[in-house]
């Protein structure tokens, strides 16, 4: 029986995690719940699962992780505000099932320094796929990681065809049901850029050896190519409950959480190269990742400001990544990396992005 705390319990990943726990009462015990602001839904969840320890807001979630005995903390909070709970979970020695990629990307070396080997288990479908495929060989046998991308709603469009797209079009993702920021990030491929940084940090693979390929069917969730020419892929119908269940009980598999492939029906899987001209966010993310320090935090914070401006009609779609690039170019990292310097870099990036957007 694994005792589980779910942070971000009212969001998409959080509610699906509760589905997994609900269906496996002899395997998981829910001992803590935290939500951002939805107090009513949090109370309903606590009542159903008879959970006494709950929290509202990131600071309270951090305290919950500190005070409640648990084996696993699922961090499904959205945004870099999840950094505090991530560091607290690692400090407390819990297994961290990480759906909050921003805390690792922003925290970078601080998070890695706080984690022991194997303590962080990825929940993003791409990184869960990589973790599964990497079990097929030793680290020195890995040639490269291949992160798949659906291509979002604008797959196949040239850069000049993206100038006038609307927020409603950007939110029409062909595969996944996600929140506003993540869905927009998928349309710009900023999300895939963040995932490349996350893959580098999780698996210690050089950026030159991490590629992105467009796979619109979203069946192959990522691949690992080995030095003998073998490529190991993890394939399954799109369903976040599979990587969530692995995150809760890694490396053990939970029966019945996801649908298997239907091999009796004809199907085609296609793979296309990424158009870096139309979608420059991935190349920019690699440059940001190589620079390290507070640059990933600046990339992420500037993006959040730009996404808000786009949905409020203050910035065109192409202006999102253009704004991120301008903020990154202007950034001067601090001499010492700390939680305080990360927060200051984020504050600076948001202000800088707002000034660029206003102009």
Residue 78: the pLDDT is 87
Indicate whether 172 pLDDT > 90.
Answer: no
Supply the mean pLDDT for the chain: 95
Tokens 């706080």: give the residue. 114
CATH fold group of domain 2-123: Rossmann fold (3.40.50)
Contact status, residue 30 vs residue 72, Cβ threshold 8 Å: no
Q: Do domains 2-123 and 293-359 have the same CATH topology?
A: no
Domain 293-359: which topology?
Answer: Rna Polymerase Sigma Factor; Chain: A (1.10.1740)
Q: Does position 173 have pLDDT exceeding 80, yes or no? A: no
| pLDDT of 176 above 90 | no
CB atoms within 10 A of CB 51: 19
**Rounded mean pLDDT, 276-304:** 97
Instruction: Report in angstroms the alpha-carbon separations of 198 from 99, 129, 331.
Output: 11, 13, 21
| HEC-encoded secondary structure of the chain | CEEEEEECCCCHHHHHHHHHHHHCCCCEEEEEEEECCCHHHHHHHHHHHCCCCEEECHHHHHHHHHHCCCCEEEECCCCHHHHHHHHHHHHCCCEEEECCHHHHHHHCHHHHHHCCCCCEEECCHHHHHHHHHHCCCCHHHEEEEEEEECCHHHCCCCHHHCCCCCHHHHCCCCCCCCCHHHHHHHHHCHHHHHHHHHHHHHHCCCHHHEEEEECCCCCEEEEEEECCCCEEEEECCCCCHHHHHHHHHCCCCCCCCCCCCCCCCCCCCCCEECCCCCCCHHHHHHHHHHHCCCHHHHHHHHHHHHHHHHHCCCCCCHHHHHHHHHHHHHCCCCCCCCHHHHHHHHHHHHHHHHHHHHC
Using the CB atoms, write b or e for 252-264: b if 16+ within 10 Å. eebeebbeeeeee
What count of residues does the chain have? 359
Q: What is the mean pLDDT of residues 244-271?
A: 95
Say if residues 220 and 269 touch (Cβ distance below 8 Å). yes
| Residue 339 pLDDT > 90 | yes
Condensed to tens digits (0 to 9), the pLDDT of residues 182-209 reads: 889 999 999 999 999 999 999 999 999 9
Kindly tell me if the per-residue pLDDT of 79 is higher than 90: no
| Residue 177 in this model has a pLDDT that exceeds 80 | no
Q: Angle 209-205-226 (CA atoms, 0-180°, nearest 5)?
A: 65
Listed by start position, the domains of the chain span: 2-123, 124-239+262-287, 293-359
pLDDT range class, residue 179, cuts 50, 70, 90 = confident
């Amino acid at each position: 029986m694994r005792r589980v705390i779910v942070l971000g319990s009212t969001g998409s990943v959080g509610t699906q995690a509760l589905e997994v726990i609900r269906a496996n009462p002899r395997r998981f015990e829910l001992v803590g719940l935290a939500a951002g602001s939805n107090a009513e839904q949090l109370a309903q969840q606590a009542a159903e699962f008879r959970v006494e320890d709950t929290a509202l807001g990131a600071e309270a979630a951090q305290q919950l992780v500190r005070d409640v005995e648990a084996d696993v903390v699922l961090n499904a909070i959205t945004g870099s505000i999840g950094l505090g709970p991530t560091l607290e979970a690692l400090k407390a020695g819990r297994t961290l099932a990480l759906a909050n990629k921003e805390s690792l990307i922003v925290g970078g070396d601080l998070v890695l320094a706080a984690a022991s080997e194997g303590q962080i288990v990825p929940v993003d479908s791409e990184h869960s796929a990589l973790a599964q495929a990497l079990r097929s060989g030793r680290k020195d046998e890995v040639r490269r990681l291949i992160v798949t991308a659906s291509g979002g709603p604008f797959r196949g469009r040239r850069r000049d065809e993206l100038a006038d797209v609307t927020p409603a079009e950007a939110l029409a993702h062909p595969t996944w049901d996600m929140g506003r920021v993540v869905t927009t990030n998928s349309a710009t491929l900023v999300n895939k850029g963040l995932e490349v940084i996350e893959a580098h940090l999780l698996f210690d693979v050089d950026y030159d050896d991490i590629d992105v390929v467009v796979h619109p069917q979203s069946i192959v969730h990522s691949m690992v190519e080995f030095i003998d020419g073998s490529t190991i892929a993890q394939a399954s119908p799109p369903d976040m409950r599979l990587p969530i269940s692995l995150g809760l009980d890694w490396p053990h598999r939970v029966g019945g959480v996801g649908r298997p492939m239907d091999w009796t029906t004809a199907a085609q899987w296609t793979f296309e190269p990424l158009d870096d001209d139309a979608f420059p966010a991935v190349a920019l993310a690699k440059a940001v990742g190589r620079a390290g320090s507070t640059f990933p935090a600046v990339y992420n914070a500037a993006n959040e400001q730009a996404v808000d401006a786009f949905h409020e009609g203050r910035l065109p779609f192409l202006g999102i990544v253009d704004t991120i690039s301008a903020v990154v170019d202007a950034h001067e990292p601090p001499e010492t990396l700390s939680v305080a310097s990360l927060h200051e870099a984020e504050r600076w990036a948001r202000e800088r992005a707002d000034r660029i957007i206003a102009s």
